[in-house]
Chains A and B, each alone.
Chain A
Amino acid sequence: MTRDIPLANLERLTSGLCGGELRHPSSESARLSAALFLSHGTASSTFSSICARNELLSQSELIRMGLRNPAPECAEELLGTERFVFFYVAPFRYPNTACGVLFASALEEEHRHEGVAAPFDTGGLIHVFTRPDPSESPRTFLTRHELPLPTHRAYLALSMDIAFQQAADYIEGRDPSLASPLGITGGDARRWTHEVRIPERVSLQTRHLQAVFAPRARVRASQPVKDLFQWCLANGVDTVMFDTPSGDEFETLRNECLGYIRRKLY
């Protein structure tokens, strides 16, 4: 992928969002969008192996290493995004997850040449969101909306001002007051949540790791998870442990993450 396409997309989408006028984001939106963490949530059962490997792996790497079976019908394969590790620039929003990691926004700077962003959850383009022109393939729609790292955050800052009643609504998961300037409908908050993709693998125990979240019982029971939490305590990385009443894991994870972000950024 050449970097020129996401750059051209950024100009076009920004112009569309601002009605062709030159606009600067408010200081609050600029601050929040620049500082907002990158989140990656996982199921409890897969978090142990992530901690044991000490890295997040793309779908294609997992398949190459024999850790996952090929799934030709999955969204990543259909969109051609299977070689990436995915993050939301937001609290955890992927259901069926109970553990997760937050990275500092500086991680994007390190991957600015090979990483890419989109102003929505790309997986939702398959079977969830409705695109303005159904005859256009999801893959083409995605290509027209890919944005460069880390400057997609400038677009995010403007979106916070223009589409939302207040900047924090984006973080809190409250729907925007304006219809999507991209013309997509359906789904949930992931329709307007910025996604960042970094190729192949992202190491956990680095200076970019901001915080780690897991149910207390999982930390106690899983040695790799325990090892990661100990590393975090020794290296000044935040840890968040919580209890999960049966069947309520994702809601608890989401609320813990929101609480953490409020304490750090508001």
Chain B
Amino acid sequence: MTPPVRVDELEIIGYSDVLDASMLPSAVPPVFRNRARRVLVPPFFLRSGYLYNATEISQQEADALRNAMQITLFEQSFPAVPGHELWIDQSFQYHYEPADQAKQKLFQIADDAIREAESALLSGDWQKAERISGMAYCANDRRMEPLAIEAAIRRLQGNRDGERLMKEMARPFLADSAFESLIERYCHMASPHRRRSPIAGMALERPKAA
């Protein structure tokens, strides 16, 4: 552990995770470097412009963590700023901006992705609905719609364990009955019966006898 360090005396050289496309967009904990060229990695916490309780390692150890796929290092470092948040977008580009602004952008991505996932459900493209709802959940894990969309798809696929897992994930944030209503709503959207054309199946009806 290190003594508290002023954030504006640090630079950011990467983040403490290795993400694949299914995990984006995502806010990430930065990997810092101080003026003595020592690297500061989580666990740590940031408060009032200071970094507390970081673990200090050498650049060589940081390289080893990168090789072990535990952290990602940027090609170029940039100055750290108090109150800023680091996040990675869907094309793996990093953004470093005031935390409120970052939060607003991520929430907007989540809103848009939920709408797009619902459209995909309506058009019967479950795979796309699941992928896009995953993006929505990464951007804002307080929205329960993405979990309900996946739960609905699992229910329609007859995968009860998959559905149950989504319910377990939602449980701390939403009452079971409310989550069930969401699932039913999405099942209804995705149901082939609802999407069937009004004239579908008419040719099978036996003509009335003259």
A residues with CB within 8 A of B: 43-46, 48-49, 68-69, 71, 74, 95-96, 216-223, 226, 229-231, 233-234, 239, 241, 243, 246-251
Q: Tell me the complex Cα distance, A209–B64, Å.
A: 30
Q: Tell me the complex Cα distance, A221–B131, Å.
A: 9
Say whether B146 contacts A248, CB under 8 Å: no
Q: Tell me the complex Cα distance, A160–B67, Å.
A: 38
Output the least CB separation between B198 and chain A (Å): 37
Give 5 closest A-B pairs by Cβ, nearest first. A45-B18, A247-B29, A43-B70, A221-B23, A230-B161
B residues with CB within 8 A of A: 16-20, 22-23, 26-30, 41-46, 55, 64-65, 67-70, 85, 134, 137-138, 141, 146-147, 150, 159, 161-162, 164-165, 168-169
| A223 / chain B contacts, CB cutoff of 8 Å | 22
Q: Tell me the complex Cα distance, A249–B17, Å.
A: 11
| A217 / chain B contacts, CB cutoff of 8 Å | 23, 26, 137-138, 141
Say whether B168 contacts A239, CB under 8 Å: yes
| B70 / chain A contacts, CB cutoff of 8 Å | 43, 45-46, 96
With A220-B141, A249-B16 given, name 9 new contacts (CB 8 A). Answer: A49-B69, A95-B55, A96-B65, A217-B26, A220-B146, A220-B150, A246-B29, A247-B29, A249-B42
Q: Which of B18, B64, B169 contacts A71 (CB 8 A)?
A: B64
Output the least CB separation between B149 and chain A (Å): 11
Say whether A247 contacts B44, CB under 8 Å: yes
| B69 / chain A contacts, CB cutoff of 8 Å | 43, 45-46, 49
Give the interface SS of chain A, mostly helix, strand, loop or mixed. Answer: helix
Q: Which of B16, B18, B168 contacts A241 (CB 8 A)?
A: B168
Say whether A221 contacts B161, CB under 8 Å: no
Known: A248-B43, A251-B43. A219 touches B169 (CB 8 A): yes
Output the least CB separation between A165 and chain B (Å): 25
Q: Which of B46, B134, B141 contacts A243 (CB 8 A)?
A: B141
Q: Tell me the complex Cα distance, A87–B71, Å.
A: 22
Output the least CB separation between B21 and chain A (Å): 9
Output the least CB separation between B203 and chain A (Å): 41
Say whether A96 contacts B55, CB under 8 Å: yes
Q: Tell me the complex Cα distance, A251–B1, Å.
A: 14
| B42 / chain A contacts, CB cutoff of 8 Å | 96, 247-250
Q: Tell me the complex Cα distance, A239–B134, Å.
A: 20
Known: A46-B69, A71-B64. A95 touches B43 (CB 8 A): yes
Q: Tell me the complex Cα distance, A69–B64, Å.
A: 9
A selection of 16 A-B contacts at a CB cut-off of 8 Å is A45-B69, A46-B69, A71-B64, A96-B16, A217-B23, A217-B137, A221-B23, A221-B138, A230-B159, A233-B161, A239-B165, A239-B168, A243-B141, A246-B85, A247-B29, A247-B42
Q: Tell me the complex Cα distance, A221–B65, Å.
A: 22
Say whether B16 contacts A221, CB under 8 Å: no
Output the least CB separation between A23 and chain B (Å): 37
